[in-house]
Structure 1
């Protein structure tokens, strides 16, 4: 099973270093011969992949930061404060998180058009925050619920307010839940395609998924360049998961057994 999962990624990276002649060979070669970086150079110089990469970084980081700030406050309130209607609220959040993007793409497009947000960063950041916020609240709420309430009481005894308690007492303890919500939100924003395709038609604001999809010409498909761009697009996600793997696993495990 592991080989089946890894095989497409290996083939993607392997093909990105092959020449066009080597890519079309049959039977296919296992390793690139000769080895070339021309597809990576072409992706950045001819197809403007650097602009797509920058746009994806800006949109994903800003949206993830906003989601984490709002989700931290909302999940703390739901998990720790005496608020009425918590159960219906959580069900409502769950219903929102299951809403398909295609169901709201038309009204969202009209809204973006009327307020002049088409071909801009905010046209993606705002929907990304709205669609990823429910999941982040669910993950962080289950983790906050497992933190001893004595920490809140001790903070109140020392004169700390709610905001001080959240950001200086609870969040440092809830780091795994924070990283879990952040990683999943970043990956969702980084790989999103439909909103990025519809809301931003200008090359100046295209993100990586849309940019790679438009690499193909009318008569040619630059497979090597597509695989090169895909390899560069996957690298940030791989690095992010490898760095925060321990915290993500801890956050998901805590949410599973302490819900």
Structure 2
């Protein structure tokens, strides 16, 4: 088992370590033969250059703003929808949940032209709001199903006890149920953040000006027409990966506890 885990870990870590090694190399060491894992002269010039020579700061702030807003909106609506579907029976409930699930079956490339046409009519092409709307539409259906599973694992007797104590439905949801679903919220937030942070195709098509582009698009543009500055490209990739790594480290305990949520039937 340990041998299998070590091999699997190496398959994941080797590309990351090679990316870090390339980012720390000066330009003259990047293309040497044979390749060197450990740079002879460690240089942080690539990390400095991506902030000075490219509008990397603008890309970073654009991605941060778009992803945080879309994640926040997705969490609010998916939590409300998941709670409502887990606690109330209403006409069309099954069809509604099935519709949300079906939306995840279509490849995103099929939705590119419809989204472009709709956003063009609304005047949202090359805007942060347009990307936020797109990312929300991707996140809410799956996040609703995730939150539905967590809310179903919380006993309904808590709602009944809160009702006896005089709590309304909204107060019960906010003060009683929502704090108990923190693992689900953390897992849902991580999913939504990863989807938005790494999304490239829609950001590339729906934005045209440099002050609107996101990190994946900006990193893709480091591939020059005549040459590729590999150490700059790798440094930019590492910097773009750090926020998700840091976020996962802080939310790890909630994420791990969410893996066993619902394992025991009440």
TM range (shorter): over 0.9
Aligned to 1:75: 82
Question: Of the candidates 113, 118, 124, which is equivalent to residue 117 of structure 1?
Answer: 124
| CA deviation vs aligned residue, 1:66-113 (integer Å, no higher than 9, x gap) | 000001110000011122333332221111122221101112112212
Question: Of the candidates 159, 166, 171, which is equivalent to residue 152 of structure 1?
Answer: 159
Kindly indicate whether residue 193 of structure 2 is the aligned counterpart of residue 193 of structure 1.
no
CA apart distance, 1:256: 5.8
Say which is worse superposed, 245-254 or 150-159, in terms of deviation.
Answer: 245-254
Kindly indicate whether residue 212 of structure 2 is the aligned counterpart of residue 212 of structure 1.
no
CA RMSD of aligned residues (A): 1.4
Aligned to 2:251: 244
| Matches of 1:83 and 1:145, distance apart in 2 | 16
Kindly indicate whether residue 237 of structure 2 is the aligned counterpart of residue 230 of structure 1.
yes
TM-score by length of structure 1 reads 0.96
| Matches of 2:116 and 2:40, distance apart in 1 | 47
CA apart distance, 1:221: 0.6
Report if aligned partners of 1:145, 1:258 keep a CA contact under 8 Å in 2.
no
| CA deviation vs aligned residue, 1:189-229 (integer Å, no higher than 9, x gap) | 00000110011111001000000001122211111111000
Q: 2:261 is paired with a residue of what secondary structure?
A: helix
| Matches of 1:13 and 1:258, distance apart in 2 | 45
Aligned to 1:66: 73
Q: 1:254 is paired with a residue of what secondary structure?
A: coil
Aligned to 1:170: 177
| Matches of 2:165 and 2:147, distance apart in 1 | 25
| Matches of 1:258 and 1:129, distance apart in 2 | 32
Question: Of the candidates 2, 6, 20, which is equivalent to residue 9 of structure 2?
Answer: 2
| Matches of 2:203 and 2:263, distance apart in 1 | 33
Structure 1: runs of 5 or more not aligned: none
Q: 1:22 to 1:190 in 2, by over 3 A?
A: same
Aligned to 2:44: 37
Structure 1 residue ranges (4+ consecutive) displaced by more than 3 angstroms after TM superposition: 255-259
Aligned to 1:131: 138
| Matches of 1:134 and 1:253, distance apart in 2 | 22
| CA deviation vs aligned residue, 1:101-141 (integer Å, no higher than 9, x gap) | 11011121122122111111111100101111111111110
| Matches of 1:257 and 1:244, distance apart in 2 | 23
Say which is worse superposed, 244-253 or 2-11, in terms of deviation.
Answer: 244-253
TM-score by length of structure 2 reads 0.94
Q: How many correspondences in the alignment?
A: 259
Question: Of the candidates 91, 94, 108, which is equivalent to residue 87 of structure 1?
Answer: 94
| Matches of 1:256 and 1:122, distance apart in 2 | 39
Structure 2: runs of 5 or more not aligned: 1-7
Equivalent residue runs for 1:178-189 within 5 Å: 178-189=185-196
